[in-house]
Amino acid sequence: MKKPKRKTVLVTGFTVFLLLMLGFSVFFFLNFNTASVSGPSMEPTLKNGRRLLFTRAYWLVGDIRKNDIIVFTSPEDPKESVIKRVAGLPGDKIDPLNAPNDWGLARGPFTVPEGTFYVLGDNAEVSEDSRDFGPLPKDLVRGKVVILGSSESVAANR
């Protein structure tokens, strides 16, 4: 009686390379996203049309800290994403000039409540930020910006 032949799978270097690339692609797709700057509220740091790479993989890039740029869902329009700089973490005191608009100067510094971030645009004159809508709940944060892309490719397509 003849034994059935066993097929052996030949794993080549190219196969390993393709599997690694597939794994990297899935990892990147699940942990990173892009956003585009729209408007002047983050100028001069971020100009209109600039592309950004952001992530929620904080274990990879570190927790959100003061002065980080974040992308979050607008508290006023859930379909809109907003890009701002973190000016205060929970427990931080915000100076009266940057406190929420409904916070009286006589009340002294504003303290960022637990479970929120205080965000400001770099271009204070035109930015709609925590001074207008108050502290940002952490659950609205979509991620921390890790790479600032160039806007030249966007400008060339206009």
**Catalytic residue flag (residue 84):** yes
Three-state secondary-structure class, residue 49: coil
41 part of the active site: yes
The pairing of strands 81-88 and 69-73 is: antiparallel
CA–CA dist 113, 91 (Å, integer): 6
- CB 29: neighbour CB atoms within 10 A? 9
- Partner residues linked to 54 by β-bridges: 33, 145
Which candidate in 81, 84, 130, 144 is catalytic? 84
Active site residue: 2, 3, 5, 41, which one? 41
In the chain, where does DSSP find H-type helix?
A: 13-31, 58-61, 130-133, 152-156
List active site positions: 41, 84
